[in-house]
A and B are shown apart, each in its own frame.
Chain A
């Protein structure tokens, strides 16, 4: 896979986002470094997924700019945005696999439809990816025959099939048991080191963030609370960040009784 040429893969410059009168994101100023794994951490409704949608150009900020791989997305014509998206890969929370296709066809889909590769090339690449995610034996199964963790793995493989410069993973471990979560984390680490690509992972799973992150951005209620290396964020004095990391309720460790 291709390493990004930019030291900063995504640059959010004072980004505000409103849906009607509701403020979703507030003055987000965040530079996601290239060639590393950045985790967007925060509770549900913090604005993590929205931030990712902005980075892909599925949403436009109300104020501020989003620059991805050197392109200001607001100024990018539709055709060029489409071209840019071919340099991005995204794995969705539940895989977003095409139900009528087999595992093999799902992973092959972007290679066939987007990159228009030849069948022989597609087969080599898909077999290699399925092998990497440990689902080669399941290649002829349809998604309804797979477990949640397996669907997420196939989603990861499909996202990485086009050899993206930027890979986005939306809650890759949500709803999974701890053993499966650990295997997904290990897979993300393995793929990151293998392909030297920029990964942005959205999660509210602190253990998972600790396992995979080079950098961590913590969001809450649409505000960026903290951004830095994993150790910097883990040593943050911010009360909300600490509550999130230590899984303690805010305002001290009150007993429920």
Chain B
């Protein structure tokens, strides 16, 4: 914070001088911006559903782990994350903006490495990241949500005009999980219809800033 103030002051002194040379008498011009070079992320408080910074993050790429409450078993999670337009969602080696951490079993029990997995992600209009990761085989057990379940990434994009000191608001506007009890294939359709419903959750986000 102190460094930022200092830099703004220094720029503010120079600018009026330059403007005075061009004949302006104004002295209220704002300080010039400084392009951001790094990103920082502060984890949210609490032990519920939250996005926390992963150790693999770098100064220009923040990798966020989705972590749930320990002891709560789920079969998958999906959420929509609204971000400032200047925030750029990054991708992983799989080409998607979501990365599997290996908790959920994305293949069926008779695993075929070529079979499609229930992992999807994209960016909707308005810079809304929409990602989901789910177990496909309903016969497999639900997993404890207390570990990182998946990852997303936010990157510094010089082309977006991000300035040092900018705060990039993040908010999860929609989030649901597949609960542990989704019924059995042997249940009647009424029972299945009651149980096969995703549950709403709230995901806390931390503070993302540029420097």
Do the two chains belong together in a single complex? no
